[in-house]
Amino acid sequence: MIGPRTFLEYQNYRYLKVALSTLFLSIVVYVVDDPPGGRSGSSWTGYGLGTIAAATIFWLMWLGIRKRSYSATGASLKGWVSAHVYLGTGLLFLVPLHSAFEFGWNVHTLAYALMCVVCISGILGVAFYALVPTSMTRNRNNITLDAMLERIAEIDSECRMAADGLPDYYAHAVVTSIDDTRIGGTFRSQLSGKDADCGTSRALRSLRTSEVDLDDEAKEQERKLIELIARKELLLKQIRRDVRFKGLLDLWLIVHVPFAFATCAALIVHIFVVFWYH
Amino acid sequence: MSIRATLTVMGGLPDQAGQVFEVGAGSTTLGRGLNCGIRLADRSISRLHAEVVWEGETLVLIHRSQVNRTLVNGNQILERTPLAGGEEIQLADRVVLRLKLEVEAVAAEAASATPDPEVDATQLGSVEASAVPIADSGPAPPVAEPAEPAPASELASPAAPASPPAAAAEGSVAEPTTAHHLRPVSVDEPPPDPSSINIAIIGAGPAGIAAGVRAAERGLKHTLFERSVLADTIVKYQKGKLVMAEPPQLPLQGDLKMVFEEAVREQVLAWWSEAATNAGTNLVEATEVLSIQGEKGAFKIEMRGPGGAKTVDATHIVLSIGVQGDLRKFGVPGDDQPWVTYQLDDPGAYEDKRVIVVGVGDAGIENAIALAENGNEVTIVNRRDEIDRAKPMNKAAIEAKIKTGEIAYLTHASADRFESDAAVFKTKAGEEVRLDTDLVIGRLGATPPRSFLESLGVSFPSKDKEAIPDVSDRYESNVPGIYMVGALVGYPLIKNCMNQGFEVIEHVLGESVKPADEPVLANKFVEVGGSVSENLARIQEAVPTLAPLTMVQLRQLLFESKVRIEKPGVVIYSRADFDNTFFSIIEGEVELAYLDNSDPTIPDDLRTERRTKRLAGQFFGEDGLISGRRRGETVTTTQQCIVIETPRNTMTKLTRSVEDVKKVIDAAYVNTALATLFPSLESAARDRLADRAETLMHRAGEVIFGEGDEPDGLHLIRRGTAEIYKKHEGSEEQIDSVRAGSTIGELAVLHPGRTRTATAKAGVDCETVLFPTEIILQYVESSREIREYLELKEQEFIIADARRQHGRGTMMWLQKAGGKEATDLLMIDETLCVRCDNCEKACGETHGGVSRLNREAGATYMTSAGSALHLPTACQHCENPKCMTDCPPDALNRDPNGEVWINDETCIGCGNCEAYCPYDVIKMAKVDDEPGPGLLMRLLFPSRAKKKAASDAKPAEGGAATVKKAVKCDLCRELPAKKSGAPRAACVASCPTGAIVRIDPGEYVDEIYERQG
């Protein structure tokens, strides 16, 4: 196989192996070590694991910068992402070892809780990344978003021409379809992939329920108009699905990134508190 | 007629050095023996070493020695080889003789009747022989004869004893290679009396203005006629456009009182009109030349200006009319109505009008669409019913408007007459269509200047549309008294034009003038030593291919070339390199090592190498010149060498204008291609094959041969790509695509009597060399190697067909998606792509803010197993890059690894490459040299960073210099390469999920099959 492999498989799962062996070693040390006063975050093992965890967190944050260093040399961004995912997930288990499973209603556990949110949103992100792109490609069906929008503009102008000479009722439907159709909108409506009040759907409904008497030529025009609006409605569905998929791909980041910064802040407070009050 | 053959001792025999032996009729033996006709007293050679025999009009060399070898131009002769003249014949290890063939009697009728003798195509000497009349009349000035250059057709041409094989297959097919085009030569005449001179300079572009300025300075009687306004082309540039001064190393003639350097349009126009005014140039604008009669000293020029038609006299004419030609007119009654026009400057000036646009080229379509969008009622008229001359985008746009009825469409109609308020068209069926109208715009194309020039008697070297008329060293055409300069004779750059305008006036006066490129050329010869003229003379003498060039052409060739001195053992280029310069050897010797391609199943790295030599006077690199493909051979110097390295474009332009150069290069190509495919084939057999072969041109989409046809022979693709189709359940499906250097049509040769089993079509413009069935069959029967090769190709075909049945439509899709010419495809696995657009951002950030790739655009292939492979719109680094066709400053380059890149220092922003690119991957954009906003800025204030970038891209107030340059993917040549040596592409390196990769197109197809499996 010559083509690209996913970042999860990077270098034959190199960073999965790194993460697993680090965890394994940490567990061994944790089990073997029996410090005076019992296992705790304040033992030397605790400090050691804590340092590793904190360093990993800061390194994970660095991805935001590496991602934007476009002329960077060294490992590819794909490698960085691979390590980011595995090492980040490993923290979920490493940190409890560091704290010797001590949790409470304090800033220390707050840092861990925030980190958990980051990790879980990240795992969700990986899941979205695995599932959404294929659906997105299928939905796009070899047409770019720009081309779809262009096609809609074309349909709009065809509709205007088709409505020419028909009673105002039809012109009104066309105007409704053109003016009252929105794509996007709030993040929520983007994610829904639907618009309950879409002008085009309303226009189609009103065309189908029209009770205006028409002669044969006008009937033909009406049929043409219905066909155009129906096609536009299908295109709109396709576009809204595309927007929805794009939203899904971004959704997890909205949680992941701010919580990552929050984790960092809590982590700094945690370290400060530990050493200040020790 | 008879041919005189002589052999001159060139080396190895100190006592006989320089001795000339006459080759008698019948057979002449060569050797150490006493009985030999040509006795060569050296112990190294055999008593009877070789024999030269006349077979009809062909001289054939037969190797006779049992122990010592015979070589012709470095190639060992095992049995026999025909000679064309000019060859170096080496006997054993040191004795070298040079053959010269001269035509004694001149008989015009003999030319076409002469059977074409066989030639060893690699033997450059053939030019020396065939070019005798040219070489003798000599491009080197001053030459006293012929006193009057005569049109080519009047010149009785000696039968070319060595018409090269490619063009010479069976007289009935190829055009007879008769009369060589006679190039104008400069004739020494007594200088004319300046007071009697009256020069008409036609065309006030840079060349014309310079000529006008110089003529005025010199106090000559002159008039500068211009059909529009001074420097019309530059006037039409958009405001504030930067006019580039390329090539930077070329100086302007020092005495020319006309300023030009890189500056904005307005400044350049000011300089030039100032120059014309200050010198007192007699400029007549808005005057069009209709015809020219008379001869040198007494021309009569008929012209039409604001005051009506008139006739003016001139003793000399300088044509500097450029290449744009004249806009075609309707030429029907009533076309002088004020509302009949041929141009549309501002579509916004019309609203609610009834407009008729005639012509469906790009200009017509663009006008029609712009007018329709501005609320006019537009009808577009087509003489036929196909819209095939327009860009695909324009074609789609107009068809859409026609479909919706926004623009009315009239087909098969041409203008018949214009009445006071209506246009009348006549259809093919003879019906009249009368359309009321307010405005008619005729977009009928332009007549190229060629027909005008031919009407004056100016001759062209070939029928090629792109051929450039010849001029002598003094820019005089074959019509005495008519001089031509500038773009018209192949010099589109402003500086060249200005220099030539200056020089031509001096030449009219009979003054000698040092060409402006003298210092540049002198610089190139610093290491070689000697003056420029000595070196030029030496080159023309040493290199037969360059002998037919005029001195102007040779200077230009050298200006664009590199002169390289290389020590022995230096690799000039390596196999699979992608550069495609052409080399002429002035001195020394090189060795070519190419691969044995006879067995297609052996991987490249396991193939055996074969070697051949090329000597002084010969050339190498013709494969790249013809096919544009990767180098097929590694070239190493075996002696100290002086070589001229010429860019492919320069050489291509030259082969269009100088037929002889093209023929020799073509012949050499066929010979080498045969040697790589059938290594055991003797040189003589290769020559015979090459001799009977025929070069065929196929336009993109044309059928090369069809399924079920009677086979015509084996085709060797020398340029482009052929697509193989097979009928399947009534519809044609593509099986394979075959690239230059490979053959098609083997099956029909292997199974004589059968019809073609598949159809071959030219994927892009394509050239094939056809070896007719009856010729190739002889070899199939006798040569096991050829048979085996054909059988292996048959197996390949069967496998390809099986794949086609398995993965229906894959190849078809790839061809449609535009991968047919790619050497490097950017591919996105859409199942991994998370649409973050980091690839585009990376491209923009590393390339002055302009991304050269459009991720979303482009085609996607959905495999049956659920994968989706997407080809974003980005440069594919085509095998034969169309973009490189016509770049005036040669700013487009190709690196050995195949990347095609644009030098933004020398790009003048003319947009030619953008127009030529069939894949829409070149954009004209203002590239921001300033580093973009910093990383911190981008992270913390993304919106402000964007604003800064946007304001940077805007031109400053007051129309300051803004020049849009061509940009496209350059494979990130500025970034450091990877450890493996592979180029580091920012888009690939910046993909977080690894969805985007660069791959070879072949791998791409494999990948699709893999995923389907």
Task: Give residue B290's identity as a one-letter amino acid code.
Answer: L
**CB-based contact B834 A132, cutoff 8 Å:** yes
Q: Does domain B519-679 have CATH number 2.60.120.10?
A: yes
Instruction: Please choose, from the candidates B813, B823, B826, the residue with its C-alpha nearest in 3D space to the C-alpha of residue B1012.
Output: B813
Going by pLDDT thresholds of 50, 70 and 90, the confidence category of residue B120 is very low
**Topology of domain B3-168, per CATH?**
Tumour Suppressor Smad4 (2.60.200)
Position B759 scores a pLDDT of: 92
CA dist., res. A107 & res. B104, Å (int): 108
Backbone angle region of B410, left / alpha / beta, with phi > 0 → left and psi within -120 to 50 → alpha: beta
**CB-based contact B868 A6, cutoff 8 Å:** no
Task: Give residue B309's identity as a one-letter amino acid code.
Answer: A
**Topology of domain B340-446, per CATH?**
FAD/NAD(P)-binding domain (3.50.50)
Out of B832, B845, B862, name the one closest to residue A6 (CB).
B832
Q: Best residue in B834, B847, B980, B1011 to probe A by mutation, most A CBs within 10 Å?
A: B834
Digit-coded pLDDT (tens) for B757-794: 899 998 777 899 999 888 888 888 788 888 888 888 88
Position B54 scores a pLDDT of: 85
Decide if pLDDT at B296 tops 60.
yes
Position B945 scores a pLDDT of: 56
Q: Tell me the CA distances in angstroms from B337 to B286, B438, B758, one per residue in order.
A: 19, 11, 57
**CB-based contact A137 B939, cutoff 8 Å:** no
**Topology of domain B817-926+962-1012, per CATH?**
Alpha-Beta Plaits (3.30.70)
Digit-coded pLDDT (tens) for A55-101: 999 999 999 999 888 888 778 889 999 999 999 999 999 999 999 99
Going by pLDDT thresholds of 50, 70 and 90, the confidence category of residue B168 is very low
Work out the number of other CB atoms within 10 angstroms of the CB of residue A267.
22
CA dist., res. A161 & res. B310, Å (int): 54
Minimum mean pLDDT among A43-47, B25-29, B206-210: which range?
A: B25-29
For range B62-71, the mean pLDDT? 83
Q: Which chain B residues contact residue A144 at CB under 8 A? A: 856-857
Decide if pLDDT at B358 tops 70.
yes
For range B510-530, the mean pLDDT? 88
Helical spans, DSSP H, in B678-809: 683-692, 746-750, 773-782, 784-806
Position B809 scores a pLDDT of: 60
CATH 3.50.50.60 positions along chain B are: 194-322+449-510, 340-446
CATH 3.30.70.20 positions along chain B are: 817-926+962-1012
Position B638 scores a pLDDT of: 94
Position B191 scores a pLDDT of: 80
Q: Which chain A residues contact residue B850 at CB under 8 A? A: none
Position B228 scores a pLDDT of: 85
- How many contacts, defined by CB atoms under 8 Å, are there between A and B? 118
Position A236 scores a pLDDT of: 93
Going by pLDDT thresholds of 50, 70 and 90, the confidence category of residue B114 is very low
Q: Which chain B residues contact residue A140 at CB under 8 A? A: 860
Q: What is the DSSP letter of B516?
A: T
Decide if pLDDT at A9 tops 90.
no
Minimum mean pLDDT among B12-21, B38-47, B930-939: which range?
A: B930-939
Q: Which residue of B lies nearest to A147 if distances are taken between CA atoms?
A: B857
Instruction: Please choose, from the candidates B191, B206, B187, the residue with its C-alpha nearest in 3D space to the C-alpha of residue B139.
Output: B187
Position B499 scores a pLDDT of: 94
For range B636-641, the mean pLDDT? 93
Q: Are B199 and B314 in contact, with CB atoms under 8 Å apart? A: yes
Quote the minimal CA–CA distance from B843 to chain A in Å: 8
For range B949-978, the mean pLDDT? 64
Cis peptide before B247 (omega within 30 of 0): yes
For range A192-210, the mean pLDDT? 88
Digit-coded pLDDT (tens) for B184-213: 777 777 788 888 899 999 999 999 999 999
CATH 2.60.120.10 positions along chain B are: 519-679, 693-806
For range B374-394, the mean pLDDT? 82
Position B22 scores a pLDDT of: 84
**Highest-scoring range by mean pLDDT, A28-37, B28-37, B951-960:** A28-37
Q: Are B404 and B398 in contact, with CB atoms under 8 Å apart? A: no
Quote the minimal CA–CA distance from B97 to chain A in Å: 56
CATH 2.60.200.20 positions along chain B are: 3-168
Q: Which chain A residues contact residue B868 at CB under 8 A? A: 134, 137-138
CA dist., res. B218 & res. B212, Å (int): 10
CATH of B693-806, one of 2.40.50.140, 3.40.710.10, 2.60.120.10, 3.20.20.100: 2.60.120.10
Going by pLDDT thresholds of 50, 70 and 90, the confidence category of residue B98 is confident
Decide if pLDDT at B159 tops 70.
no
Work out the number of other CB atoms within 10 angstroms of the CB of residue B701.
12
Interface predicted TM-score (ipTM) of this complex, two decimals? 0.88
* Higher per-residue confidence, A260 vs B978: A260
Q: Tell me the CA distances in angstroms from B538 to B144, B516, B522, B811, B955, one per residue in order.
A: 20, 21, 14, 52, 52
Share of chain B above pLDDT 70, in %: 85
Position B161 scores a pLDDT of: 37
Decide if pLDDT at A52 tops 70.
yes
Cis peptide before B449 (omega within 30 of 0): no
Q: Is A134 on the interface with B (CB under 8 A)?
A: yes
Minimum mean pLDDT among A12-16, A273-277, B940-944: which range?
A: B940-944
Minimum mean pLDDT among A33-37, B525-529, B819-823, B887-891: which range?
A: B819-823
**CB-based contact B996 A129, cutoff 8 Å:** no
Scored b (16 or more CB within 10 A) or e, B127-144 reads: bbbbbbbbbeeebbbebe
Name residues whose C-beta falls within 8 Å of residue B301's C-beta, 6 or more positions apart in sequence. Answer: B200, B202, B225, B289, B291, B292, B293, B311, B312, B313, B314, B317
Decide if pLDDT at B106 tops 60.
no
Widest pairwise Cα distance in chain B: 99
Position B930 scores a pLDDT of: 59
Q: Return the CATH architecture of domain B194-322+449-510.
A: 3-Layer(bba) Sandwich (3.50)
Share of chain A above pLDDT 90, in %: 56
Position B171 scores a pLDDT of: 31
Position B125 scores a pLDDT of: 37
Position B813 scores a pLDDT of: 65
Quote the minimal CA–CA distance from B375 to chain A in Å: 13
For range B57-70, the mean pLDDT? 83
Pairing assessment for the beta strands B721-728 and B38-39 based on DSSP bridges: unpaired
* Higher per-residue confidence, B259 vs B102: B259
